[in-house]
């Protein structure tokens, strides 16, 4: 309990401190907050219903369902089964002090509830959602939110409310409004799609008719970089502006142009190209268009991934005969091998917190699973187990989850998993081939 | 307890200051480093041809040609733009006051609609037609493919026999251009399989050149595991997909 209060105080201090300085940089990756520690105790939260005042029949239930799933996935809160501890009230108001007290006495730290319905009472108007928060530490209703919008933003209302809760208790923005870009089969082609982090609202963003592969977000979430087969015979690295659909070609060298990754400050594009014979890693300054080669050897080098500070990159190289993960400085110097276990380690992804690098590891049973390793190589953990070919790990911006593709259910689909291997959740259900997910930065 | 909390709070605020400070100095160090390495990288690799670099950013065939790249620098964006849709915290509701209204726009306004234009529809049709033409021409020529072992790009004895036959046809048809597609089975990562597919395609090309075919008549492309010949999950299917596919180019 003390820890929670201290955590809350820290969160408030961070917010106040940042507020005083006039900046609140949600991308400050060097700050480790309480909730990232392994001994972090989740905050017990109880969710009452969202009364439906004349809206579509599904409205209140939908909001509650989305909110519960978000809170569960946040890993900051643990959902308390309120009826299970004898708290029965389904519809509460800010005045229900006795109910709050009863829940608090049974170990619930935070309670949320709300109401929803047409904004002006008339059935054809916009929808509104009110959400309220009670905190047992201060024994008061600490505040509320009111969201309004069309039917199409109902899930977003719940996501946003969840993110506000995570923000209040950790000082981090939460991941409920993040998105995932991925590749899906469309006709005979592979095109890019963007969906919410929970798999809802998929939207197609390219229609090129052949192969668009390996999409990655720009750090400001406005752009996607990816490999596009311009014809069936040549590839470019293109960048697409999501809001406008506008598109530019960044790299169009001879040979393979693959695995693009923008630096954390957005100024550099790292990628692999085989214009000099075998695949090597290059770095392009997006402001000057100057580009130079970082790796020099006979093996294939590919899949660069930036450390959150932008000072280093991890990448795949088969310079020793089989693919392994290496690290180098962002100028190409100081190359050292990171993985030693097994004869196939590839597709590294550096966590936004900097403390892990996820990658695809081939196990002794020759299964392709996800592993994580610390950047000093000292700690290594296999994250996923069982059948299926796992590929393309990508971190959630809070560093607590990975999204990846797997063939565990037959066809390739997109999944997410906690970094400790728990809570494997499938997030795509339609389509015949979903692959290559990349998780957006937080808002 | 109070002292402890206060101390921690202070530490965090000081920490924030340090992080911000660190962020600034980091930037200057980094740009210095990049300037240096730029020279060295060029010297080391013999420098990618300047013309190749000059051609970057050409946008032939794209709908929105633009000589300059979009500004991707995170620091150049106004904070409120980055934080648009940022969180605002909870409003006080004491005394039964209602929270202030926050309007959530459009749901999907962040994404432009993809409407396959006439030109993309045409492109898709071109691809289909071109592919059919290549298949027909390759079948008529009797070109044979090369198959590879797991993780391997070494050409087997059987593969060499196929290529000897292919080389004869290519040499006997002086006008023909040939493309070698590198393919992989579904095991392994998407990215590494693209590199593996290219190694296979280049191994085939190099052997054909050894047999006397002019390198300028041979193009290579890798499809990794993205264009499989067979979609089942067994060794005979995997074997079909670990392939150097030799085709007559339609142009």
CATH number, domain of B151, equals 3.30.1330.60
Q: Confirm whether B160 is domain-assigned.
A: yes
Q: Which of A142, A170, A198 is the last residue of a domain?
A: A170
Q: Are residues A139 and A261 in the same domain?
A: no
In a domain, B28, yes or no: no
State how many domains chain B has: 1
Distance CA A412, CA A183 (A): 11
Is B30 inside a domain boundary?
no
Q: Tell me the pLDDT tens digit for each residue of B87-113.
A: 888 999 988 889 999 988 754 446 777
Half-sphere exposure at residue B219, Cβ-oriented, CA atoms within 13 angstroms: 16
Digitized pLDDT (tens) for each residue of chain A, 443 residues in all: 445 555 555 554 444 444 444 333 333 333 334 445 556 789 999 999 998 888 899 999 999 999 999 999 999 999 999 999 999 877 788 888 899 999 999 999 999 999 999 988 776 779 999 999 999 999 999 999 999 999 999 999 999 999 999 999 998 889 999 999 999 998 889 999 999 999 999 999 999 889 999 999 999 899 999 999 988 889 999 999 999 999 999 999 999 999 999 999 999 999 999 998 999 999 999 999 999 999 999 999 999 999 999 999 999 999 999 999 999 999 999 999 999 999 999 999 999 999 999 999 999 999 999 999 999 999 999 999 999 999 999 999 999 999 999 999 999 999 999 999 999 999 999 988 999 999 999 87
**Contact assignment for A316 to B192 by CB distance below 8 Å:** yes
Rounded Cα–Cα distance for residues A395 and A261 (Å): 14
Q: Do A359 and A406 lie in a common domain? A: yes
A189 and A45: one domain?
Answer: no
Range of the domain at A249: 179-439
CA atoms within 13 A on the CB side of A264: 26
**Pair (A215, A124) in one structural domain:** no
Task: Tell whether A210 and A75 lie within a shared domain.
Answer: no
Alpha-carbon distance of A348 to A339, in angstroms, equals: 10
Please identify which residue in the block is written with the tokens 């070919």. A389
Summarised one tens digit per residue, pLDDT across range B48-67 is 333 333 333 333 334 444 46
Biggest CA-to-CA distance, chain B = 92
pTM score: 0.84
Query: Residues near B112 by Cβ (< 8 Å), separated by ≥ 6?
Result: A205, A241, A242, A243, A244, A245
Single residue among A170, A194, A222 that ends a domain in this structure? A170
Instruction: Count how many pairs of residues, chain A against chain B, have C-beta atoms within 8 Å.
Output: 357
Q: Which of B128, B188, B194 sits opposite A368 (nearest CB)?
A: B188
Give the residue from A120, A266, A344, A440 with the most B CB atoms within 10 Å of its CB, the best one to mutate. Answer: A266
Chain A contact for B82 (CB, 8 A cutoff)? yes
Cβ distance of B102 and A148 shorter than 8 Å: yes
B89 touches chain A (CB under 8 A): yes
Answer with the residue of higher pLDDT: A14 or B205.
B205
DSSP class per residue in A148-174: EE-GGGHHHHHHHHHHHHHHHHHSS--
- Domain range for B190: 128-248
Same domain, A186 and A108: no
**What number is the average pLDDT over the span B205-231?**
96
Query: How confident is the model at residue B250, as a pLDDT?
Result: 74
Cα–Cα distances in angstroms (integers) from residue A293 to residues A319, A429, B32, in the given order: 16, 40, 17
**Domain finish residue from A170, A190, A220:** A170
Residues of chain B found within 8 Å of residue A187, distances taken between Cβ atoms? 124
CA A309 to chain B, closest CA, distance in angstroms equals 8
Sheet holding A203-204, edge to edge: A203-204, A189-196, A179-186, A434-439
Asked whether the beta carbons of A241 and A234 are under 8 A apart, the reply is no
Do A218 and A285 share a domain, yes or no?
yes
Domain CATH code at residue A417: 2.120.10.30
Q: What is the CATH number of the domain that holds A13?
A: 3.40.50.10070
A158 and A289, same domain (yes or no) = no
ipTM passes above 0.90:
no
What digits encode the pLDDT tens for the residues B14-45? 444 444 443 333 333 333 223 233 333 233 33
pLDDT for the residue B43: 31
Are the Cβ atoms of B103 and A149 closer than 8 angstroms? yes
A205 and A127, same structural domain? Answer: no
Give how many domains chain A has, as a whole number. Answer: 2
In a shared domain, residues A264 and A135 = no
Is residue B58 a part of any domain in this protein? Answer: no
The DSSP annotation for B219-234 comes to EEEEEETSS-S---SS
Q: Say which residues have a Cβ less than 8 Å from residue B214's Cβ, sequence separation at least 6.
A: none
pLDDT in the model for residue B31: 31
The SS3 call for residue A133 is strand
Closest-CA residue to A213 (of A177, A264, A257) = A257
Residue B183's pLDDT is 98
Question: Using CA atoms, how far apart are residues A391 and A313, in angstroms rounded to an integer?
Answer: 19
Nearest CB neighbour to B190, from listed A248, A250, A392? A392
The predicted pLDDT at position B106 comes to 57
| Helical packing angle, A154-170 and A2-21, nearest 10° | 100
Claim to verify: residue A217 and residue A72 sit in the same structural domain: no
CA distance A370 to A348: 10
């Amino acid at each position: 309990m003390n820890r929670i209060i201290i955590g809350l105080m820290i969160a408030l201090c961070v917010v106040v401190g940042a507020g005083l300085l006039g900046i609140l940089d949600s991308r400050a990756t060097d700050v480790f907050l309480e909730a990232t520690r392994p001994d972090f105790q989740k905050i017990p939260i109880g969710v009452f219903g969202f009364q439906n005042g004349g809206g579509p029949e599904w409205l209140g239930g939908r909001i509650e369902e989305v909110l519960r799933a978000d809170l569960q996935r946040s890993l900051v809160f643990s959902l308390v089964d309120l009826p299970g501890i004898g708290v029965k009230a389904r519809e509460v108001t800010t005045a229900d002090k006795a109910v709050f007290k009863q829940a608090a006495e049974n170990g619930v730290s935070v309670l949320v509830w709300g109401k929803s319905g047409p904004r002006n009472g008339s059935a054809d108007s916009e929808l509104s959602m009110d959400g309220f928060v009670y905190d047992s530490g201060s024994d008061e209703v600490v505040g509320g939110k009111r969201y309004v919008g069309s039917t199409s933003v109902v899930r977003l209302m719940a996501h946003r409310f969840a993110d506000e809760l995570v923000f209040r208790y950790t000082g981090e923005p939460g991941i409920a409004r993040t998105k995932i870009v991925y590749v899906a089969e469309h006709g005979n082609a592979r095109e890019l799609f963007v969906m919410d982090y929970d798999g809802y609202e998929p939207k197609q963003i390219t229609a090129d008719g052949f192969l668009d592969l390996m999409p990655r977000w720009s750090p400001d979430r406005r752009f996607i970089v990816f490999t596009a087969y311009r014809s069936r015979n040549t590839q470019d690295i293109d960048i697409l502006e999501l809001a406008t659909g506008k598109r530019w070609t960044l790299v169009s060298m001879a040979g393979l142009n693959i695995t693009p990754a923008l630096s954390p400050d957005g100024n550099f594009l790292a990628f692999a190209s085989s214009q000099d014979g075998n695949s090597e890693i290059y770095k392009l300054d997006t402001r000057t268009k100057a580009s130079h080669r970082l790796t020099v050897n006979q093996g294939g080098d590919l899949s660069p991934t930036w450390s959150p500070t932008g000072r280093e990159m991890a990448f795949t190289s088969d310079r020793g005969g089989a693919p392994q993960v290496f690290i180098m400085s962002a100028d190409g110097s100081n190359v050292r091998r990171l993985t030693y276990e097994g004869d196939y380690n590839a597709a590294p992804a550096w966590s936004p917190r900097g403390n892990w690098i996820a990658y695809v590891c081939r196990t002794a049973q020759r299964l392709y699973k996800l592993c994580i390793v610390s950047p000093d190589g000292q700690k290594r953990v296999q994250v996923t187990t069982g059948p299926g070919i796992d590929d393309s790990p990508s971190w959630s911006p809070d560093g607590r989850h990975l999204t990846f593709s797997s063939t565990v259910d037959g066809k390739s689909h997109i999944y997410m998993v906690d970094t400790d291997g728990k809570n494997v959740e499938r997030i795509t259900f339609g389509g015949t081939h979903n692959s290559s997910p990349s998780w957006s930065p937080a808002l | 307890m109070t002292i402890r909390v206060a101390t921690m709070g202070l530490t965090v605020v000081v920490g924030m200051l340090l992080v911000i400070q660190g962020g600034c100095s980091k930037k200057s160090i980094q740009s210095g480093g990049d300037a240096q390495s730029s020279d060295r990288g060029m010297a080391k690799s013999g420098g990618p041809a300047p013309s190749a670099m000059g051609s970057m950013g050409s946008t032939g065939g794209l709908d929105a040609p633009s000589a300059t790249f979009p500004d991707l620098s995170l620091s150049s964006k106004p904070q409120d733009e980055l934080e648009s849709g940022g969180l605002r915290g909870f409003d006080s509701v004491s005394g039964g006051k209602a929270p202030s209204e926050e309007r959530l726009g459009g749901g999907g306004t962040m994404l432009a609609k993809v409407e396959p234009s006439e030109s993309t529809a045409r492109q898709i049709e071109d691809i289909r037609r071109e592919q059919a033409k290549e298949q027909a021409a390759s079948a008529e020529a009797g070109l044979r493919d090369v198959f590879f072992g797991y993780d391997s790009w070494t050409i087997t004895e059987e593969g060499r026999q196929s290529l000897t036959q292919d080389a004869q046809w290519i040499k006997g048809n002086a006008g023909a251009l040939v493309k070698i597609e590198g393919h992989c089975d579904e095991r392994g990562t998407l990215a590494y399989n693209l590199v593996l597919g290219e190694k296979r395609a280049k191994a085939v090309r190099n052997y054909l050149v050894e047999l006397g075919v002019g390198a300028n008549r041979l193009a290579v492309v890798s499809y990794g595991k993205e264009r499989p010949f067979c979609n089942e999950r067994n060794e005979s299917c995997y074997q079909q997909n670990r392939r150097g596919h030799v085709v007559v180019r339609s142009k």
